[in-house]
Amino acid sequence: MAILDIFNNEIVEFVNFPNDQVFSIEFGAGRGCFGKKFLPACYLTDAVNNNLPHFRELEEYSENSQCHYLDSMYDFINSEDLGRTFTKLIFCNPYDFGVGGYGETKQFLSRAGQLLDVGGEILMIGGVKNRWVKHKNAVTFYEELIAHNNLSYEFQISQPIVLDENHEYRQNHVFTLCDINVEIKPTQMYKITKVA
């Protein structure tokens, strides 16, 4: 059964990455399609595709299909600049990049700052035990970076929202750690807005 977005339309592939009229982008999307379901005009990207077929290559597909929904292979940290900016960057359960530490946060926010419009926002979704997305880490390390004058952009970090099992994201989406094939349940969500 095809996957529908929040407006009940079938999710779509954007073929002219990064030049479509698409202003949201998800990084490290793995084999999930969160951004296309909930935003839904959203690019899905990841550094690798784990040798899975693209969903458009299958005759039929469903959320259980062994496929990916990526519009492009793109490594958030290491790939070349895209030459454009976005209004929304999405990170679902990031591991290996994010607000894991002082240096990690500097790298993460510096890269996000390059890719975001002023007024654009980063959507962070994950577990409270995941240091790469933990709200308290984001606040602590961002404040330290600003105090040390060690970041080129200014951001504002919202309060976290609890994602319990009744939240639509948890109800209508299965989050997985795709490289190790394990389901994971995000428990928190917040936004980081680029102010300047």
Partner 1 sequence: MENIILEARNTFSDVHLTNDYRIKRYRNNFQIHLNTLFDISNVIVDDSQAIFNDTALILTDRIYHQTEGFVIESLDDLEDESINEEFDNLQGFLYEKIRRELGMYYDRTSLELLKMIDRTVHSAILSVKYNYFSKCNEFINPWESENNIFTDNKVLHLFSTNRDEVVDFIDDDSNESNEISDKKIWILAKGHRSDTTHGFVRDLLGLRNTILAILDESASSYRNPMKTEIIIRKLRQMGISQDEYSDSNIKNWLITPLKRNNRIGSSKDGYFMLNTCDDIAFSYGSHLENLKGYFRTLESHRRLAEQKNCLSTHNLNEHIEFLLRYLNLPS
The token pair at 170 is: 């948890």
**Counting contacts by CB under 8 A, is residue 147 touching partner 1?**
no
The token pair at 34 is: 């969160």
Contact (CB, 8 A) for 188 and 170: no
Using CA atoms, how far apart are residues 73 and 162, in angstroms rounded to an integer? Answer: 31
Q: Minimum distance between the CB of residue 127 and partner 1, rounded to whole angstroms?
A: 5
Binding to partner 1 (CB under 8 A) within 3-42 occurs at none
**Counting contacts by CB under 8 A, is residue 188 touching partner 1?**
no
The alpha carbon torsion through 146, 86, 71, 46 (nearest 10 deg) reads 0
CA 33, chain centre distance (Å):
10
Q: SS3 of 87, please?
A: strand
The token pair at 109 is: 């926010």
**Counting contacts by CB under 8 A, is residue 45 touching partner 1?**
no
Q: Minimum distance between the CB of residue 143 and partner 1, rounded to whole angstroms?
A: 11
Q: Considering only residues 12, 41, 48, 82, which one is a binding residue for partner 1 as defined by CB under 8 A?
A: 48
Contact (CB, 8 A) for 30 and 23: no
Q: Which of these segments, 6-14, 81-89, 115-123, 173-181, binds partner 1 (CB under 8 A)? A: 173-181
Q: Considering only residues 136, 152, 156, 172, which one is a binding residue for partner 1 as defined by CB under 8 A?
A: 136
- Residue 162 or residue 182: which is nearer to partner 1 going by CB? 182
- Residue ranges that bind partner 1, judged by CB under 8 A: 47-48, 93, 95-96, 100-104, 106-107, 127, 129-132, 136, 140, 148, 150, 177, 179-182, 184
